[in-house]
Structure 1
Amino acid sequence: MANALSPVRPEDGATARFIRYLRDVRRLSPHTLSNYRRDLDSLAHFAAQRDTPIENLIEADIRAWTSQLHRRGLAPASIQRQLSAARSFYNYLARENGHQRNPAGSVQAPRKPRKLPRTMDADQVNQFLSQPARTVIERRDKAMAELFYSSGLRLAELAAINIDDIDATLLTVIGKGNKARTIPIGSVAREAIKVWLQVRPTIGADHPDRDALFTSKRGRRISPRSIQARLKLLARKAGVHQDVHPHMLRHSFASHLLESSGDLRAVQELLGHENISTTQIYTHLDFQHLAKVYDDAHPRAKRRKED
C-alpha cells in the first residue's frame, strides 16, 4: 500500500506523517489516501510558493489558496474536497503538536452555481397533455399528468393521494416534513380524474390500497417508479422531445403561475416550500423568459443581432 503513494518530498514531512496516520490508524483505502495526498500536495505547493512551511500557514493563506484554485477553474465541489483534506490535516497537527487553531476551519469554498430547473413552455405542455385517452391505463396516465401540472405536486405526494383527499375543487396532500397543505385542482384535471374514476378497477373493501386514487390494473397503489415511467411514455407518444418527469411538470406549474400572477408568496404556499428563498429560483426562470421576449421583440435588440 505504501508504494501506491507518491514520493514524499523532504519539506512535506508533516503531510507524510498524516498520510501514514490515515493509512495505519484509520486504515483508509488506497484510493482515499491518494485523494488526500493529491489535495495536500496542492496545498504544499502553494506553501512552497510563499516560502512558508505548510504547518505555519494561517487563515489568510488558506483563503488565498482557495482563491487560486478558483481562478484555475476548479469546480466548487473540488475546492470543497481539498479544503476538507486541509481541515483534517490541521486537526491532526493539533493533536500531534498542539496547534491552537485550524487555519482552514472557517474557510468556505465558493458556492456551487445553482442550476435552474428545466421546464416546458405552455405550448409543450399543451402538446404533452393533448393526447387522447382511450384505454383505462391511458385515462389514468392522463389524469396523473393533468394533476401534476394543475397543482404542482411532488412525485411522492401524487403517489400517496387517496380518493377522500379530494373535496370538490380542493386537494389535501402530505408534503415534506409530514406537513399537510390544501391546494386547488384545475377544472381540466378534475374532469380527467372524473373520467379515470369511472373506469378505475374495483377494489375489495379489505384491500390495503382500496382508498388509493391511482392504481395499477390489479388495484394496487401505483408506485413512484411506475408513475415516472408512464410520464416518459406519454411524452414519447405526444412527440415531446424532452425527458418529461414529475418535477419538470412541477417546475413548469410554478414558472407559468409566477409568470402570470407575479405572486411569489402564493406560489410558495402552493408548492409547500418552507422558505421563500427556495421559491425565488422561479423568478430567475421568469427573468429568462422576459429577456427572451425582449431580445425577440425590442427594436434595438433586433438591430444588435443584425449587426
Structure 2
Amino acid sequence: MKYNIASIRNNTLPQSLIDFSNYLETIKGKSQNTIKGYKIDLTMFFRFLKIYKGLINDETLDFEEIPIADIDNSILRKITLADLYAFLSFVEKYRKNSAYARARKVATLKSFFKFLSSRAKVIDENPAVDLESPKISKRNPTYLTLDESKSLLKAISGRNKERDYCIITLFLNCGLRLSELCSINISNIKGDILTVIGKGNKERTVYLNNACVKALNNYLKVRNENIDKIIDKDVLFISKNHTKMSKRAVEVMLKKHLISAELDSERYTPHKLRHTAATLMYKYGNVDIRSLQKILGHENVSTTQIYTHVDDEKLRDAVKLNPLSQENDE
C-alpha cells in the first residue's frame, strides 16, 4: 500500500501548529471547522509576531503574504504575556476585531500554549496562563417573530420550492446549525428522529414535529425523481449539480427568500433562524432552559440562557399587572 504523505504535510505552517492541529483532531476530537478556526487565529498571531519582533526580511510583503513556517521552538520560548496583549491590541485596532472575536483568539492562545507546555513540552512556562479575556456585553439574540417566520415560509417559491421549504422548516423548527443541516444524510433519519453531528463531533438526537416530517416527505418525492443523477445518494439536500448542497448555497438560497418575503436579508442568516427556533420554543412552547439546551446542543447552559431575556411582551404585561398600575387613573 502506498501512502501519499505529501498530501497531509503542510510546509507553510510551523511544526508546532501542525502538531497542535493533529492533537485537536485525534485526541480532543475537534471538528474540522473548529480546527480551521484555530489555524486562522494562530496564523494571524504568528504573522503579527514576526512584524512585532522585527523578523521580516522583506518589508514589501502584505500581511497575508508573511511566511510563518520558520516559527520554531526558540521563538516560541521567548513569547511573553505582554506579546499576547500586544496581539490583542493589534487585532482590535488594525483588524477591527470585536470583543467576541478577541475573546475567541484568547481561547485559541490559551489552548495552544497549554498544549505546548503540558503536552508537547516545548516551553517551560506558559505565557497565556494569566491572559484575560475581554469583557463581553450580553446581547439579546436576533430572531424572526412568529408572523415573520410564517411570512418567510409562504414566500418560498421556484423550481426548488420543496427543497428550500424543507430546509427553512428544519431551521425554524429544530434550531439546527448550518453545518449540521448540510451534513444530514437520509440514513440519519428514522421516522421522526434525526441524528446530527454537532460541535466537537458530538452526536445528538433531534425530534421532528409534523411540519418537519411533512416537509421532508414532500421534498424526498421530488428529490428521488432524479435519483440516478445524484452523486452521493445518501446526502439529503442536493444542489442543482446533483451534489451535496454547500453552506454557501444555503445562505444564498435563504437570502433570496428573505427578499421575497420583504424581510431584512442582511440581518437574518441561517444562524439567526436557529435563534428564531429557540426563541419560539421558549416563548410559545413552555420549554424549560435545560430541555432547550439539549435541543440546541449547547455544552454549557449559560449559552442557552440568552433566550430567557427575549420576551419583552411578558415583561410589559408583568409591569401592567402591578396592583399599583392604575393608581393615577383619575
Pair in the same fold by TM > 0.5: yes
Which residue of 1 is the match for residue 235 of structure 2?
212
Deviations 1:126-161 (A, max 9, x none): 11112354x441211111000111111000100011
TM-aligned CA deviation for residue 22 of structure 1: 3.9
The answer as to 2:199 corresponding to 1:148 is no
Distance in 1 between residues matched to 2:231 and 2:145, nearest whole Å = 39
TM-aligned CA deviation for residue 302 of structure 1: 9.4
Which residue of 2 is the match for residue 280 of structure 1?
305
Which residue of 2 is the match for residue 51 of structure 1?
none
The answer as to 2:296 corresponding to 1:271 is yes
- Which residue of 134, 139, 144 corresponds with 1:120? 144
- 1:155-194 residue pairs with structure 2 within 5 A? 155-194=178-217
- Contact 2:156/2:164 (<8 A) preserved: no
The unaligned stretches of length 5 or more in structure 2 are 1-51, 60-97, 104-127
TM-aligned CA deviation for residue 204 of structure 1: 3.4
Deviations 1:19-56 (A, max 9, x none): xx944xx55999xxxxxxxxxxxxxxxxxxxxxxxxxx
Q: Aligned pair in 2 of structure 1 residues 218, 110: CA closer, same or farther (>3 Å)? A: closer
**Residue type matched to 2:203 in 1?**
A
The answer as to 2:262 corresponding to 1:247 is no
The answer as to 2:281 corresponding to 1:257 is yes
Q: Aligned pair in 2 of structure 1 residues 292, 29: CA closer, same or farther (>3 Å)? A: farther
**Residue type matched to 2:289 in 1?**
L
Which residue of 2 is the match for residue 137 of structure 1?
160
**Residue type matched to 1:282 in 2?**
Y
More helix by share: 1
Distance in 2 between residues matched to 1:241 and 1:296, nearest whole Å = 32
Distance in 2 between residues matched to 1:160 and 1:280, nearest whole Å = 27
TM-aligned CA deviation for residue 251 of structure 1: 0.5
Q: Aligned pair in 2 of structure 1 residues 105, 122: CA closer, same or farther (>3 Å)? A: same
List, as ranges, runs of 4+ consecutive aligned residues in structure 1 with deviation greater than 4 Å: 26-30, 104-110, 292-304
Distance in 2 between residues matched to 1:302 and 1:143, nearest whole Å = 48
Number of matched pairs: 218
**Residue type matched to 1:272 in 2?**
G
**Residue type matched to 2:293 in 1?**
Q
- 1:52-131 residue pairs with structure 2 within 5 A? 106=130, 108=132, 111-131=135-155
TM-aligned CA deviation for residue 274 of structure 1: 1.0
Bigger Rg, which one: 1
TM-score, length-scaled by structure 1: 0.60
